[in-house]
Structure 1
Amino acid sequence: MFLDNILKSPVCQPIKKSYEHWYTFMEENIEFWLPDSEWHTKTHCARVLLLALLIGHQKGLSNEEMDKLGMSAVFHDSRRLDDGIDKGHGARAAEYYKDYCREHNFPFDATTYYINYYHDQDDSHGFSEISKSSNISERAVLLYQIFKDADALDRFRLGPDALNVNFLRTEEAHGLVDFAKFLLQNSLESHS
């Protein structure tokens, strides 16, 4: 399994089973439009998955909320058309998630849909749209913030100065900056 050696560390023990579940789900079920992408691969999604689950665990999220983060992570970059900004890939991933749920008789979750839909948008727009949705819980904004932080923490793959920590939304994400660098380095070494 990808990141096996990282999963053995004490910090990852509480989320190891959840990570393994969602990683396996992604490997077996999720089709990526850019499988040969340089930046938006399944390995990127796997790191975002791990980081989202770590932040969620540190925040004391419920198992149901952790599953929403896991599902968001495995779908979020699956419908990219290119490695640039590609505004709209979040909406395409959200629709892919919705279609997947319908086609596989899988329970649909509106929060997961909205996290995917707005993850490539400016925070103010995402917060506004999620907040005014009546069919999701008030905690959806927190899950959106956690997810956006997890995705941002993997920006080191784009270069050593690609992450501006001033834009991180949660205290827990600030505490994982060095871990995110270590995680990237470790995953690069395991793929070389």
Structure 2
Amino acid sequence: MVRLLNQADWGEDRGRIQRLKGWVYYPLLLEAYDTLQEEALFPSAIHGPAHIHRVLLLSALVCQGEGVGEGMVRQVFRAASYHDVGRTFDGYDVDHGARSALRLAELTGQTGEALRELQAAVTAHARPDREMEAVVASFHPQNLPQALELTRLLKDADNLDRVRLGDLDPRFLRHSSAKDLTGFAERLFQRYPGEGSEGRPRGTKGQKI
């Protein structure tokens, strides 16, 4: 992905990528790619490394668009990196977030409140929005609104990559900057589908999370 970001020809997205490279937190995105523990990722063409690489980039663009501060940006990148490590299959699975959350301490090195926030967001990203607040609150974060925003940012970045399933619905996105990225997300997938991603798997309509 870093090589792709450094390519000159982004076509209609050239300005967006240039603005991203000028973002004060762009070095944190490069650090997230550099330190990503690829061997921990779920080995899949759908939820595996290429998905994680795209979600990291999409999360950076959403954070940039929302004017998110450094602490939250770092947390979003940590969550985006490992939100699917608990997957055991590619289908609809509301419990994979909880399994992923169990590995966040070892993979991110976070402790205390930062770890609780990450575990809350990663657990909740796999659950329907109607359950989000209850799931996040069950981790007893000191700053519930902050933990909920971390969850929403993660869910938007993850949902944008539903273009790979052919069923991205902007109505389920939570931030205006995410809604502005739907076309980019489609073009990103075309540019960077990842190995083994020939064609599109059928989407799971009615199972938006």
Superposed pair shares fold, TM > 0.5: yes
User: Pairwise CA RMSD of aligned residues?
Assistant: 2.2
Taking a change above 3 Å as real, the CA distance of residues 3 and 158 of structure 1, as seen in their structure-2 partners, is farther
Q: What code does the residue aligned with 2:122 have?
A: N
Report how far residue 16 of structure 1 moved: 3.1
Instruction: Give the aligned partner of residue 20 of structure 1.
Output: 30
Q: Extract structure 1 runs of 4+ deviating beyond 6 A.
A: 189-192
Q: How many residues align?
A: 182
Q: Distance in 1 between matches of 2:69 and 2:50?
A: 25
| Aligned 8 A contact 2:75 2:118 in 1 | yes
Q: Does 1:183 align with 2:188?
A: yes
Partner of 2:102: helix, strand, or coil?
Answer: helix
Q: Distance in 2 between matches of 1:112 and 1:42?
A: 20
Q: Distance in 2 between matches of 1:26 and 1:189?
A: 16
Instruction: Give the aligned partner of residue 165 of structure 1.
Output: 170
Aligned equivalent of 1:124, options 130, 154, 157: 130
Q: Distance in 2 between matches of 1:75 and 1:134?
A: 21
Instruction: Give the aligned partner of residue 38 of structure 1.
Output: 45
| Aligned 8 A contact 1:6 1:183 in 2 | no
Report how far residue 107 of structure 1 moved: 2.6
Taking a change above 3 Å as real, the CA distance of residues 79 and 129 of structure 1, as seen in their structure-2 partners, is closer
Q: What code does the residue aligned with 2:29 have?
A: Y
136-145 vs 174-183, greater mean Cα deviation: 136-145
Q: What code does the residue aligned with 2:160 have?
A: L
Report how far residue 140 of structure 1 moved: 1.7
Instruction: Give the aligned partner of residue 92 of structure 2.
Output: 85
Q: What code does the residue aligned with 1:12 have?
A: L
Using the aligned pairs only, state the percent identity. 27
Q: Distance in 2 between matches of 1:77 and 1:11?
A: 29
Partner of 2:103: helix, strand, or coil?
Answer: helix
Partner of 1:38: helix, strand, or coil?
Answer: coil
The unaligned stretches of length 5 or more in structure 2 are: 8-16, 199-209
| Aligned 8 A contact 2:100 2:123 in 1 | yes
Instruction: Give the aligned partner of residue 5 of structure 2.
Output: 6
Taking a change above 3 Å as real, the CA distance of residues 151 and 189 of structure 1, as seen in their structure-2 partners, is closer
Q: Distance in 2 between matches of 1:173 and 1:157?
A: 16
The unaligned stretches of length 5 or more in structure 1 are: none
| Aligned 8 A contact 1:154 1:180 in 2 | yes
Q: Distance in 2 between matches of 1:165 and 1:22?
A: 27
Report how far residue 98 of structure 1 moved: 2.5
Q: Distance in 2 between matches of 1:190 and 1:16?
A: 26
